[in-house]
A = this chain, B = another copy of it.
């Protein structure tokens, strides 16, 4: 009997809590609420479900409902599956609100992900679908100690390596705490025995010397890096680099670049689909085939006691209204769009739909003639953080050491005035600005740049924004109302989750919603 079978047996015979306890005692319990594909047990009784939106939420739901025997149809505004799950490749075109059309000019094999671009290892629902759908994943390098932390107004404008900022911040913190301990300032908080252990630990963790000082030498350089690396032979001796002062690290805000990689959502190991995030959407689309109707712009959602009617326009024939009807409707349309549509739900869900503004975000992909970040600067994947309006430069986590061209994520803004500023520009101007800013960090930009493409999410026709912004107050007041089934309508998407902006939130919200719809169907309580 396999361990899994054993656990299933415990689960069946003694219930989920006993199984969880058994898993915990075996060290097996993971914290993810997603424990595998949903099981919609019991007959659907010929029930139909209309799914609005062929993003990952809608498509995961459609796949499960189909497999459980439901009659499923998906209406999708775009001519492609995926929604915000999307990669732009050479030859693709994209028309934003206002009518500007860009054509992606990237070379074969290169891409940029305008939407999601990385998958935490604990997003087991997304990764589970990747496995089921045959989407290969590879490591996404979130933290690269050799990438840059940059503040245009500090360190003479020179980008600093992540490793230097990190080592120096840790070193100064350790030195100051060691001083406090030696001055007996923490006798009330820490036992004398623990103080001894903490001092020794700080010396090692902070790369301090024998006197608990953080200074130029082997200890600090074995963290922050050398002026000249140790090597072999007669000329092998290293030359030491000098630590940066704590004051300038604090002033420059470069220390903030240490935080993302420490955050649960961005902790290594992270993944990306091989070939672009959009491979997930494409795989779902292939799986669902003709169940998805593309180019269907929903214009109204009307429910009654027996079902839901959805009016939509075929985007190829503007003005021509069509109608689809089903027993139930799972609506994954972003609230930014849904709040503009007529939908007859109760006042609670209506208020919830109106309560969530959408964040601004801009991404810009830039193609360069050569991978100078690797060849000249030994940066393989990872992210440079800068105080410039582009805020991020991200290097491709694939094709390392290849001799060809490469595409950088040349800007990624999320919220903030930077997003508004970039959104207000014409597409070509965004790209030109990203090149201009980026060249302050990588002087090679101006010579090596070839072409670029940008997506400003507030100008996206299918989302009019990037992701829902839940304040704590709004969540307290409206979240449950948004997620409760209203008559024959349930909502899903990242906006109906505690994982705003993450595909895992979209998918788990959709699975949660269809499980509850299914319970009602099985119970025969159709309204």
Contact = CB atoms under 8 A, between A and B. Distances in A.
A221 B264 contact: yes
Interface in A228-276: 228-238, 241, 246-247, 250-251, 255-256, 258-259, 262-265, 267-269, 271
A124 B379 CA distance: 12
A167 to B, nearest CB: 7
Contact of A141 (B137, B139, B185, B512): B139
A103 interface: no
Interface in A183-215: 183, 185-186, 189-191, 194, 197-198, 201-202, 204-205
Interface in A1-20: 2-3
A382 interface: yes
Contacts of A131: 401
- Most B C-beta atoms less than 10 A away, residue of A124, A137, A166, A177: A177
B27 A442 contact: yes
Chain copies in complex = 2
A17 to B, nearest CB: 13
A305 interface: no
Contacts of A401: 127, 130-131, 137
B232 A381 contact: no
Interface string A324-361: 00000000000000000000000000000000000000
Interface in A22-60: 26-28, 30-34
B498 A122 contact: no
A236 B497 contact: yes
A484 interface: yes
Among A246, A382, A442: residue with most chain B CB under 10 A: A246
Contacts of A504: 231-232
A79 interface: no
A166 to B, nearest CB: 7
Interface string A125-162: 10100110000011101011110000000000011000
Contact of A225 (B31, B222, B480, B484): B31
A175 to B, nearest CB: 9
Nearest to A123: B229
Contacts of A159: 27
B506 A124 contact: no
Given A3-B444, A255-B205, A268-B382, A509 B176 contact: no
A395 to B, nearest CB: 9
A205 B382 CA distance: 20
Given A2-B447, A247-B194, A267-B163, A377 B28 contact: yes
Nearest to A266: B145
A372 interface: yes
Contacts of A158: 27
A510 B378 contact: no
Contacts of A444: 3, 26, 28
B498 A232 contact: yes
Contacts of A237: 498
A508 interface: yes
A328 B513 CA distance: 77
A512 to B, nearest CB: 3
A505 interface: yes
A449 interface: no
Interface in A471-504: 480, 483-484, 492, 494, 496-499, 504
A233 B512 contact: yes
10 contacts: A33-B229, A137-B401, A163-B264, A170-B262, A201-B255, A231-B504, A231-B509, A232-B496, A233-B508, A269-B380
Given A122-B225, A194-B250, 5 more contacts: A194-B246, A232-B506, A234-B512, A236-B505, A237-B498
